[in-house]
Structure 1
Amino acid sequence: MIDTATFAGLDVHARSIKAVALDIMTGEVKSATFGYDAAAAADRARSVDPAARCVHESGVTGFELQKKLSSLGVDCVVGAVSKMMKPAADRRRKNDRNDAEFLARMLSTGNVAEVWAPDDECEAARDPTRALEDARDDLERSKQRLSKLPLRHGLVFDEKAPSGRRKKNRTQAYRSWARSTSLAERADNEVLPCCIDDARQAAESKARLEGLVKAEAGRPGWKRRVDSLCRLKGIDAMTAADLVFEAGESSRFKNARSFAAWVGPTPSEHSSGESVRKGGITKAGNKHLRKTPVEAAWHYPTRSAHSKDLAKGQAPGQAARRHAAKGVRRLVARRGSMLERGMRRNKADVAAAREPACWAWAAGLMAEEGREKRPASPSGRAAIVRT
């Protein structure tokens, strides 16, 4: 039931906000422009209608404005920009006022898909994991540059271990060899130490961020959920922290299927009538989280169906432990059946990635306070029992 007749769309930028208020009873449209100031936006909304509802698109400005407006007593939501279908005619008349009016009209008709807004603690927990992902990429690039610079000048690392096996490039032995290497030109000899320092600093940054993530995962608000997810094979503390921090609350997803669809390793579909066509994964959610269940699926071809041993300091609930043990048996058997059918390994990894996400959702849900959940079925459906 609509409890207000006024809807406001906010086109938010780093330094300005364009607000358009729509009265659905009279059709009147009012617009205003002011700086990026939540108090000014709240005053404008209250001056038009104290019960006005506001919306702004999801984007780089995050959830700060929505949180401030809510704290000031203004009903504000964040709309998923990926689910807003604008008319083709609007492509050639884009401006801030039209964008804000479009948001107001979408909200008035109930066509805004609201984005779940994490609290400050959840947002702060996400930052170390995302920074860690960037640090891993930086380390990979720096090691690649370091290994290829001597190679371009005809110098090849060919040191062997006592067993006779050739040592890899991305090792401490390679870095020691690179420090002792002398190139023909002075400029090259100055660049090589820079490449070595970049690789060392990237490795130090990665190690420091891993410590931050582990410390954050050990906080009381997260530890039980992280420990519960760690019971699944292929999911360590870093992976569990990624899933828990990005999801925020497992209970905001109605079932395991919706969580897997949000993560992204779910087949796309283009079916009509009797024609059923399924394609590659949907790639929903964010790129950072989507890789996590795929990497977890890598481990199952070489793992036994026995449950994991508890690591030092882990304290998951009994329900989560039983659920994880069942999940490991299921995932090992399913992954093995894919290989027996002759499915290519890469395809099987992605095909099996959906299920670890489903089991992880159920384990996280059981770890949340005041809830207990029966083990999920292979289809991803699971009943929730409140305690």
Structure 2
Amino acid sequence: MPTETEEAARDLVRAREDARGDLMRARHRLSELLLRHGLVWDHSAWTGAHDAWLRSLHFDRTGVQLAFDEAYEAVLSTQARRDRLDRAIEAMAAEPAFAPAVGRLCCLRGVATSTGFGLAVEIGTGAGSPARRSGPTSGLVPSESSTGTRRVQGGITKTGNSHARRLLIEAAWHHRKRYRPSRELLRRRAHQPPAVWARADQGNRRLHRRWARLDARHKRPTVSAVAVARELAGWCWSLAVLDDPDHAATRLG
């Protein structure tokens, strides 16, 4: 059972998830308003240049201007709320209860502090959470409808922890490109012991090879991402319990 500290961390992570969803919807509403008036930003959205363009917009009709101001203010206020929660997550992730596991998880590609903290509190970092259950509890395993000798598998179940599932799938996409440790990844693992480096490097290479094999079989990228995310869940657990002497020799098949 999670401790009170772990429950508090989950509440923080889920509040940040709510803010992320609210920000996405606020941005969509603003974009749709502008689209109705024939205004489309053709470059990378929600950057500094995009924000400068938004601030330069003015409308002759009062109703349209008021609607735009409200929609734009909703984006700014929701983004500020998300950023406050990000800072709170950064601070809590540095606490002794979470820092070791989060630091190890951040040695994997696609896993920065926010993602590592979210996975640590959602999936769990205890040795009692076996790696083989990380995929099922996140809804990343295929559904099945079998009778007698007839076995039919369908799409993933999408049951269990939806937040952990999203984090794992987002991180899995980073493993599609050829594995070359970035400067940021090297910085994140700089203070980790060699055993963590070796395990994380093994996982990063294996996950990329999995992507490459699936691409060679012409699997849809979305299908490949789920398959890699399912295996990534096991690697996350493996790193989270690496300092447990009973599980230090864990091997993932």
Measure the CA separation in 2 of the matches of 1:278 and 1:198.
43
Give the structure with the higher percent strand.
Answer: 1
Distance 1:321 1:375, change over 3 A: farther
The superposition leaves residues 232-290 of structure 1 with CA deviations (integer Å, 9 ceiling, x where unpaired) of 1122211111111113343222x311222112211122223322221111223221111
SS of equivalent residue, structure 1 residue 269: strand
Give the alignment's Cα RMSD to 1 decimal.
2.2
* Residue number in structure 2 paired with 1:146: 30
Task: Select the residue among 100, 117, 130 that pairs with 2:14.
Answer: 130
- The answer on whether the counterparts of 1:265 and 1:282 sit within 8 Å (CA) in structure 2 is yes
2:67 maps to 1:183: no
Give the structure with the higher percent helix.
Answer: 2
Structure 1 residue identity aligned to 2:176? P
SS of equivalent residue, structure 1 residue 353: helix
- The answer on whether the counterparts of 1:147 and 1:170 sit within 8 Å (CA) in structure 2 is no
- The answer on whether the counterparts of 2:234 and 2:252 sit within 8 Å (CA) in structure 1 is no
After TM superposition, list the pairs within 5 Å mapping 1:265-284 onto structure 2.
Answer: 265-284=140-159
Structure 2 residue identity aligned to 1:199? V
SS of equivalent residue, structure 1 residue 276: strand
Ranges of 4+ aligned residues in structure 1 off by more than 6 Å: none
State the aligned residue count.
Answer: 252
The superposition leaves residues 195-247 of structure 1 with CA deviations (integer Å, 9 ceiling, x where unpaired) of 11111111111111111111111111111101111111122211111111113
Shift of residue 320 of structure 1?
Answer: 2.7
Measure the CA separation in 2 of the matches of 1:203 and 1:305.
32
Task: Select the residue among 201, 207, 227 that pairs with 2:103.
Answer: 227
After TM superposition, list the pairs within 5 Å mapping 1:1-387 onto structure 2.
Answer: 117-157=1-41, 166-253=42-129, 255-304=130-179, 309-311=185-187, 315-368=191-244, 371-378=246-253
SS of equivalent residue, structure 1 residue 250: coil
SS of equivalent residue, structure 1 residue 352: helix
Structure 1 residue identity aligned to 2:133? S
Shift of residue 136 of structure 1?
Answer: 1.1
Distance 1:151 1:306, change over 3 A: closer
Structure 2 residue identity aligned to 1:151? L
Measure the CA separation in 2 of the matches of 1:276 and 1:152.
50
Measure the CA separation in 2 of the matches of 1:136 and 1:319.
34
- The answer on whether the counterparts of 1:317 and 1:367 sit within 8 Å (CA) in structure 2 is no
Structure 2 residue identity aligned to 1:153? H
- The answer on whether the counterparts of 2:107 and 2:197 sit within 8 Å (CA) in structure 1 is yes
The superposition leaves residues 3-59 of structure 1 with CA deviations (integer Å, 9 ceiling, x where unpaired) of xxxxxxxxxxxxxxxxxxxxxxxxxxxxxxxxxxxxxxxxxxxxxxxxxxxxxxxxx
* Residue number in structure 2 paired with 1:12: none
Structure 2 residue identity aligned to 1:278? Q
The superposition leaves residues 96-123 of structure 1 with CA deviations (integer Å, 9 ceiling, x where unpaired) of xxxxxxxxxxxxxxxxxxxxx3211001
The superposition leaves residues 275-334 of structure 1 with CA deviations (integer Å, 9 ceiling, x where unpaired) of 222111122322111111111110111131669844258643433322211111211111
Distance 1:297 1:182, change over 3 A: same
Measure the CA separation in 1 of the matches of 2:35 and 2:204.
44
Distance 1:314 1:220, change over 3 A: farther
Q: Which of 1 and 2 has greater Rg?
A: 1
- The answer on whether the counterparts of 2:106 and 2:189 sit within 8 Å (CA) in structure 1 is no
